[in-house]
Amino acid sequence: MYDWLNALPKAELHLHLEGSLEPELLFALAERNKIALPWNDVETLRAAYAFNNLQEFLDLYYQGADVLRTEQDFYDLTWAYLLRCKAQNVVHTEPFFDPQTHTDRGIPFQVVLDGISRALKDGQQQLGISSGLILSFLRHLSEEEAHKTLDQAMPFRDAFVAVGLDSSEMGHPPSKFQRVFDRARSEGFLTVAHAGEEGPPEYIWEALDLLKIQRIDHGVRAIEDERLMQRIIDEQIPLTVCPLSNTKLCVFDHMREHNILEMLERGVKVTVNSDDPAYFGGYVTENFHALHTHLGMTQDQARRLAQNSLDARLLKA
Ligand SMILES: Nc1ncnc2[nH]cnc12
Ligand SMILES: [Zn+2]
């Protein structure tokens, strides 16, 4: 089944480039940039990838991102991810990056963007993988800081397909970012947002009604609100679900309890994604495979999930 799932053509719609930083590359970049790390070796770092919630993961994820300094570092990070896409027949990807994680450390916005964009262009030309980049605001920071990030992005407007919202969800509802999302939409950006990962269904309502998002990132807690479920089904609003992430971050205690197939059978446009594959133990195929192993996902269900991912692209072919 693994090989069959791997060969299935699919799109990835929920992937943080910083979360694809494998420990081996992290150590190589630390050496190249002469940065001392608090871990002795790759194995020690991997052993630290045990999380009880989103925040514990984010603390390590932001720490890891500190090795990314130069345009070439961002190129190498993105290129390594695209090679994984090629190996797993991901024909289209819409990755996120978090500019504030880097600009707050003094790395110029353009350095980050140039490295990522050059790799995505090579990915299209050399690997045949199409892509659309999503600029994600950090929700634990202020709306004013998000506005400054949007200012920095405007000279490179054509490099992005959408803006998104990620980082610590609880206590940072979508309503906090209503004005900056209004502005982004008026500048022609599409919008997506993480909602209903750890946060309640109300955050999903806000993301839909106030941020006017095209897709819900995660959204697994929608199942707690029947009226919301009906809306998501009626309007066929896609959910970018990340099964291995949800179990690693204890959103579900075990993959057996994941609700993605229940949502699929109820008519929700759910898709399978890897979120932060270097930290959560697998890329897209491993996420599909875990659904087969623990939830008995059939080939027919896998085909529908993969088709949903192709249908839910913001950038149509
Ligand atoms: N799963 C996730 N939720 C929120 N913010 C993130 N940033 C990277 N991964 C994330
Ligand atoms: Zn995410």
CA dihedral in degrees (170, 143, 280, 116; nearest 10)? 170
**pLDDT of res. 113:** 98
Q: What's the rounded Cα separation, in Å, for the pair 303 and 305?
A: 6
**Residue 240 beta carbon below 6 angstroms from any ligand 1 atom:** no
Among residues 18, 22, 197, 198, the one annotated as catalytic is: 197
Tell whether the model's pLDDT for residue 116 goes beyond 90: yes
The number of the ligand 1 atom at minimal distance from the alpha carbon of 169 is 4
Model-level pTM?
0.98
- Rounded to 10°, the helix 143-153/109-122 angle is 60
Distance from residue 275's CA to the centre of ligand 2 (Å): 5
The number of the ligand 1 atom at minimal distance from the alpha carbon of 61 is 8
Q: What is the mean pLDDT of residues 161-189?
A: 98
Catalytic residue flag (residue 197): yes
Tell whether the model's pLDDT for residue 238 goes beyond 80: yes
Question: Residue 276: phi, psi to the nearest 5?
Answer: -135, 75
Strand bridging mode 130-131 / 96-97 = unpaired
By most ligand atoms within 8 Å of CB, the mutation choice from 166, 220, 287 for ligand 1 is 166
Tell whether the model's pLDDT for residue 107 goes beyond 70: yes
By most ligand atoms within 8 Å of CB, the mutation choice from 21, 49, 57 for ligand 1 is 57
The answer to whether the annotation marks 275 as part of a ligand binding site is yes
8-48: per-residue pLDDT in tens? 999 999 999 999 999 999 999 999 999 999 999 999 999 99
User: Residue 231 — pLDDT band, cuts 50, 70, 90?
Assistant: very high
Q: What does the block give as tokens for 209?
A: 């009604």
Distance from residue 34's CA to the centre of ligand 2 (Å): 29
For the chain, the straight-line distance linking the first and the last C-alpha, in angstroms and rounded, comes to: 28
Only one residue has tokens 């991102």, namely 65
Average pLDDT of the chain to the nearest whole number: 98
The answer to whether the annotation marks 276 as part of a ligand binding site is yes
User: Residue 137 — pLDDT band, cuts 50, 70, 90?
Assistant: very high
Tell whether the model's pLDDT for residue 316 goes beyond 90: no
Nearest residue to 260 (alpha-carbon basis) of 214, 308, 227, 213: 308
Distance from residue 194's CA to the centre of ligand 2 (Å): 7
Which one is the CATH code of 1-311: 3.40.1380.10, 1.10.1040.10, 3.20.20.140, 3.20.20.70?
A: 3.20.20.140
Contacts 24+ apart (CB under 8 A), 214-217: 214/162, 214/190, 214/238, 214/314, 215/13, 215/239, 215/240, 215/312, 215/314, 216/192, 216/240, 217/14, 217/164, 217/166, 217/192, 217/193
**pLDDT of res. 311:** 98
Tell whether the model's pLDDT for residue 317 goes beyond 70: no
